[in-house]
Amino acid sequence: MTYHVKEIYSTVQGEGFHTGRSAVFLRFAGCNLWSGQEVDRARAVCRFCDTDFVGIDGPGGGRFAGPAELAAAVRRHWQGGPEDPFVVLTGGEPTLQVDAPLIDALHEQGFTIAIETNGTLSTPLGIDWICVSPKAGAPLVQRCGDELKLVFPQEGADPAEFEAFDFTHFFLQPMDGPQVERHTRDTLAYCRAHPRWLPSIQLHKYLGIP
């Protein structure tokens, strides 16, 4: 399989349970809820995405001919310590491309593998940490995992609707944009009133890192 990758880069996880952990981000090109083109945003299922996942022209991006080649590229970007290398598979929507051979190849390179997915497709077996970020109006197929991270507020995505699903951690993340300050206040208020939910603040944006 040829993998189409927007970018690979070393950073720290900026949100959710693993905030602050050294990581390599492996961002796959393409998504099933938005084309990534601004002309299509108004009619997309997910209209608030703030990520560029179009093409393969980002740092470290490109076409990778097989899982071993891609896993080796990810390893070259690891800048943390020698123990417990950590890779985050993201997008776009990574489950459109991630498969068992790639998971095996990343494990052979020593990585703990996390995935950030919209949950519209089943996550392949072998992923070590599953983070699902549901989107209003999209079917939720992946209803179990380690972390459910809901961007808030979303019309048609009441947090209470997700509490029965089999996740260990539940996070609310303020929707970015011109009203982010109000959304942050509303997120904190909701979490205080509903202690099952914890706030997830996008630390990397405050720190000015990718």
Active site residues: 25, 31, 46, 49-51, 116, 204
- What is the signed CA dihedral for 87, 93, 97, 100, rounded to 10 degrees? 50
Residue 134's H or E segment, with its range, is none
Closest C-alpha to 35, from 90, 92, 89: 92
Joined together, the tokens standing for residue 58 give: 């980002």
Closest C-alpha to 172, from 197, 154, 205, 140: 197
As beta bridge partners, residue 174 has: 152
Q: How far apart are CA 22 and CA 145, in angstroms?
A: 21
Residue 63 in 3-state DSSP?
Answer: strand
Joined together, the tokens standing for residue 75 give: 């390893």
CB 28 within 8 A of CB 97: yes
- The stretches of 6-153 forming alpha helices (DSSP H) are 67-77, 100-108
* Distances 121 to 59, 64, 96, 202 between C-alpha atoms, Å: 27, 23, 8, 25
